[in-house]
Amino acid sequence: MSISKQALQRMPYYLQFLKNQKALGCTTISAPKIAAKFNFKEIQVRKDLASASTVNGKPKIGFQIETLIKDMENVLGYNDKKEAILVGVGSLGQALLGYKGFGYYGITIIGIFDNDPEKVGEVIRGKTVKSCDQISDFCRQHNVHLGVITVPEKQAQVVCDQLVAGNIGAIWNFAPIYLSVPENILVQNENMAASLALLSKHLKEKNM
Amino acid sequence: MSISKQALQRMPYYLQFLKNQKALGCTTISAPKIAAKFNFKEIQVRKDLASASTVNGKPKIGFQIETLIKDMENVLGYNDKKEAILVGVGSLGQALLGYKGFGYYGITIIGIFDNDPEKVGEVIRGKTVKSCDQISDFCRQHNVHLGVITVPEKQAQVVCDQLVAGNIGAIWNFAPIYLSVPENILVQNENMAASLALLSKHLKEKNM
DNA sequence: TAGATTGTTAATCGATTAACAATC
DNA sequence: TAGATTGTTAATCGATTAACAATC
């Protein structure tokens, strides 16, 4: 069954809860229980679970937590090993490098790059910073398909082009700018301005 | 006119482009031009502009860039001064503190907090780190309505509760966890797991 | 059996897109 | 005038929600 974009984005929350429940010793879980936890509608969770689970739920019982966890991890791609590179080892880039989450999501950062000549050669968390010139060669050689961009706004498009030249498949963009890419490449923007827009609007509506 | 959530999230991109165009000396802009830049549908941009602009566009010409910029900044709330606190001065928190964007978005960080006794008292970018015990008092005293959470997963809910106790209006959450809050408080999740889920799916579909 | 929870089918809702007349 | 771009009205699309029979 195909899973909607929105449903997919709710999965990590479900997964986290399932793991908690499993740790507490539970073996089964029902849609209404999950819905209560997150203040979602029961029917929404029911649909989401149905779309992720490989087996049918059992009326009155729900789903086996263990199987459901595996199914969700699969849907989310955590079991596919993905190699990535990170470009821009400023404060945000370094914060991300320290983020243990990557491994859990199946992502390994196998190369780090920066434009700043002073940073090239530096060793950060066991990895040597390479010059951005080498991005596309590196990507092709190591068959990297995911690129993380944490450079400043002005450099982002250039870096993006280098990744594209390296035959990258998807880009996770933290630079506050719109990136132009060929059609078949996905750019996922970690768009702080957009998030702030929603927060702002909320505060304004509450007259805060 | 009311603006949809999705449209609101596209505004920062438009705004950025408008400023660029203005810097290049342009005085007017049309929906088709913006659409071309971002590879959006013309009609979508047209609707978005109509929903943000205080004046009607002129057929064959479009909109005055200057007025449109002001209208969008208003819609996005960049002109409302908002004071915020940031909790968790680990690597991510510090990266955010160095983010010059805040000012532009109308946000001033007026207090920083951390649970780690070793960090309390430390001065980071001119601000002294306070203990988390003081969060709710501080928020009430200074009438803070926006809280940024950059603590590890395990501490996030406790911090969140302290913010709620301090009468916060909205929370920008970078911790990879779902936060339970009263109904009238907005939690905007900077949800890396969700973003990664979309990236993963894309790579999987391309067999990468 | 009775009741909780499931899956399915249909209705609603919001956002996007299409079609087109109005106008500078 | 001719053509580009606008605003408006209607159609489509995808996601959410409602209703309900099936079942453990």
Instruction: Identify the weakest region by mean pLDDT among A28-32, A105-109, B161-165.
Output: A105-109
- Chain C bases having any atom below 7 Å from a protein CB: 3-8, 14-19, 22-24
Let me know: does B135 contact B159? Beta carbons within 8 Å: yes
Question: Alpha helices, DSSP H only, in B2-41?
Answer: 5-23, 31-38
Question: pLDDT: is B206 or A28 the higher one?
Answer: A28
Nearest-CA distance A57 → chain B (Å): 24
Contact A188 B200 (CB under 8 A): no
Tell me whether residue B199 is in a domain: no
Contact B80 A191 (CB under 8 A): no
User: What does the pLDDT look like over B96-118, one tens digit per residue?
Assistant: 998 878 888 999 999 999 999 99
User: What does the pLDDT look like over A99-137, one tens digit per residue?
Assistant: 878 888 999 999 999 999 999 999 999 999 999 999 999
User: What does the pLDDT look like over B121-141, one tens digit per residue?
Assistant: 999 999 999 999 999 999 999
Tell me whether residue B48 is in a domain: yes
Whether residues A27 and A88 fall in one domain: no
Q: Which residue of B has its CA nearest to A90?
A: B95
Residue that terminates a domain, selected from B75, B94, B126: B75
Tell me whether residue A53 is in a domain: yes
Whether residues B95 and B152 fall in one domain: yes
Let me know: does A188 contact B192? Beta carbons within 8 Å: no
User: What does the pLDDT look like over B46-94, one tens digit per residue?
Assistant: 999 999 999 999 999 999 999 999 999 999 999 999 999 999 999 999 9
pTM of the model: 0.92
Separation between Cα atoms, residue A203 and residue A201, nearest integer Å: 5
- The whole domain housing B70 covers 5-75
Residue that terminates a domain, selected from A49, A75, A101: A75
Whether residues A176 and A101 fall in one domain: yes
- Partner residue facing A190 (CB), from B38, B146, B195: B195
Nearest-CA distance A117 → chain B (Å): 21
What residues of B are in contact with residue A105 (Cβ under 8 Å)?
193, 196, 200
Tell me whether residue B39 is in a domain: yes
- How would residue A205 be classed by pLDDT, with cut points 50, 70 and 90? confident
Tell me whether residue B204 is in a domain: no
The CATH number given to whatever domain includes residue B118 is: 3.40.50.720
Residue that terminates a domain, selected from B75, B103, B124: B75
Give backbone dihedrals phi and psi of A207, rounded to 5 degrees, phi first: 60, 40
Question: Alpha helices, DSSP H only, in chain B?
Answer: 5-23, 31-38, 42-52, 65-75, 91-97, 101-104, 135-142, 153-165, 192-205
